[in-house]
Amino acid sequence: MTSPMPDTGTAPNAGRALSLSTIAFTVCFAVWTIFSIIGVQIKDQLGLTEAQFGLLVGTPVLTGSLIRLLLGIWTDRFGGRLVYTLTMLASAAATALLAFAQTYEQMLVAALGVGIAGGSFAVGVAYVSRFYPAGKQGTALGIFGVGNVGAAVTKFAAPFVMVALGWQAVALVWAAVLAIMAVVFWFSTEDDPVIAERRASGGKGRSLAEEFAPLRNLQVWRFSLYYFFAFGAFVALSLWLPRYLIEVYGFDIQTAGMIAAFYSIPASIFRAYGGHLSDRHGARTVMYWTLIVSAAATFVLSFPQLGAAGFIAVAFVLGFFMSLGKAAVYKHIPAYYPGSVGAVGGLVGMIGGLGGFVLPIAFGVLNERTGMWTSCFMLLFAIVLVSLVWMHLSVRSIDRRTAQAVPVAAE
């Protein structure tokens, strides 16, 4: 296991790098989730089947997740300022082209490009973390993660633009805002300290083999499982809750949609608080809180007789602790892999993003096979339980090795 990095001073202009990266991530996330709104009109316009519609909406989520590893490695090698800017410009171009797509196949190709915006998370994590010492990285990355509220921006603003001007206008406006953000980011930020020092000294970056080396560590895949639940399941529940509330508790679509919005927005914001708690009490402690409470919550939610008020209350508690967990996972990464934040963070983000794509499908399959709407929470309980047991056994193993390494005279 790699040792945590020492605490050093905050780099100059760290606040500017964090604030602009967070704003850029908010815009990227708004673009990444654009199909959640415009997909409705596209489905009617092209007469898509449910399967075709699901593939169209899910394509940006899938590609945005898969590309995170590659973008993270590029960030480690070439710097976040360059990669972040190019990521935004590429996604903006694809989003603009979406407005001119005429066929379903053309829209799927454009959706692949729109998904690039989702990969910006891995870039921002690697870029921002290099400006802050270990003792402040949890808070900084937690604040950066608040950019998830970009999804809410799209859900609230896009319908007004779409009703007034059509879905093509939404694509063009969102693309223009993202392109402008890319230009502002390029001219208002600077290279992170590691890249700046490397260029000043004329040093070379690591080879691709060295970049991928940390991914062989089992610990990295354990972090990925945590994020598969904390982020992937959070996204899945955000998508699944409206239908669940309608079918199980008889809510109308407006009420169910508002409850789902109130579930996702505060939970995204609390991610910053999770980063603060991770800096103050340790990421391991916060992960224990997250997994223990989440295990209890998903166990309770697995019972069909739970009333509507109780369900909503427990679901909101679950969402809150998921947000703390999202921050805690990314507090681990720069601490244990300071030279490979892009690669490790990219892999962890990729697995988490895939959770947001795979879990809603799994929820549907389980519901069809069992006839039990609560089966989705049974699956989440199993994932949490495996994560908690794996974490606890790993922590005990680490503690035993540490104790054996300490001389008796020092105890």
| pLDDT, mean over the chain | 84
Q: Regarding the domain delimited by 214-403, which CATH topology (the fold level of the hierarchy) does it fall under?
A: Growth Hormone; Chain: A; (1.20.1250)
Distance CA 183, CA 85 (A): 7
Distance CA 258, CA 50 (A): 23
Contact call for residues 61 and 169 (beta carbons, < 8 A): no
Q: How confident is the model at residue 207 (pLDDT cuts 50, 70, 90)?
A: low
**Model pLDDT, residue 44:** 83
Q: What is the DSSP letter of 147?
A: G
Q: What is the DSSP letter of 7?
A: P
pLDDT tens per residue across span 86-109: 999 999 999 999 999 989 999 999
The pLDDT of 210-214, averaged and rounded, is 70
**Model pLDDT, residue 205:** 62
Delimit the domains of the chain by residue range.
Answer: 10-191, 214-403
Q: How confident is the model at residue 210 (pLDDT cuts 50, 70, 90)?
A: low
**Model pLDDT, residue 261:** 73
pLDDT tens per residue across span 390-411: 999 998 888 787 777 655 433 2
pLDDT beyond 50 at 5:
no
- Is there a common fold for 10-191 and 214-403? yes
pLDDT beyond 60 at 183:
yes
pLDDT top residue among 259 and 186: 186
The pLDDT of 297-304, averaged and rounded, is 92
**Model pLDDT, residue 117:** 93
Task: Give the side-chain half-sphere CA count within 13 A for 61.
Answer: 26
Contact call for residues 143 and 275 (beta carbons, < 8 A): yes
Distance CA 243, CA 246 (A): 5
Query: Within 10 Å of residue 91's Cβ, how many Cβ atoms?
Result: 29
Distance CA 137, CA 127 (A): 11
Residue percentage of the chain with pLDDT more than 70: 91
Q: How confident is the model at residue 22 (pLDDT cuts 50, 70, 90)?
A: very high
The pLDDT of 80-90, averaged and rounded, is 94
Q: Is 84 helix (H, G, I), strand (E, B) or coil?
A: helix
- Residues with Cβ within 8 Å of 293's Cβ and at least 6 positions away in sequence, in order, are 317, 318, 321
CATH 3.40.50.920 fits 10-191, yes or no: no
